[in-house]
Amino acid sequence: MSDLIGNDIQVLSNGNVLGTIKYAQNYNEFNESNVSEQSGYFFPFELDKKYEGQSITVKRISGNPQGQEKTAEDIQWVLRLTDGKDTVYEIKADGELIMTLNFQNATFMSEPISD
């Protein structure tokens, strides 16, 4: 997953993401069956272990968020940044907001990488 982002990635306490996000092509680990979702910008992250066993809800609230909510008991996620710098995700644990991730201050590389 580290190939998707630079070593300079930081997530600040206010949810601002800083650092480099790379453009991936043929990244089928995000969606093996839908080729149209295998290229673009992706953001892998892991929540603190204190959230293990809780119901984690990740919802894209930017762009057209209809149907862009997923819930699982997993602390490791890969988000697809369909709105580039304007992408915003809400992360909740057992219905309580943990953070709102935004990518306004991230650097998006246009040169593709391949998985």
Look up residue 38 and give its two tokens: 């295998």
Number of domains in the chain: 1
For residue 42, give the nearest of 69, 80, 91 by alpha carbon.
Answer: 80
State the residue range of the domain holding 41. Answer: 2-114
Q: Which residues contact 3 (CB under 8 A, 6 or more apart)?
A: 22, 24, 113, 115
CB 20 within 8 A of CB 35: no
Q: Calculate mean pLDDT across residues 88-98.
A: 96
pLDDT at 28: 78
Q: Calculate mean pLDDT across residues 10-26.
A: 94
Q: How many C-beta atoms surround the C-beta of residue 27 within 10 A?
A: 22
Task: Give 83 or 111, the one with higher predicted confidence.
Answer: 83
Q: How many C-beta atoms surround the C-beta of residue 113 within 10 A?
A: 13
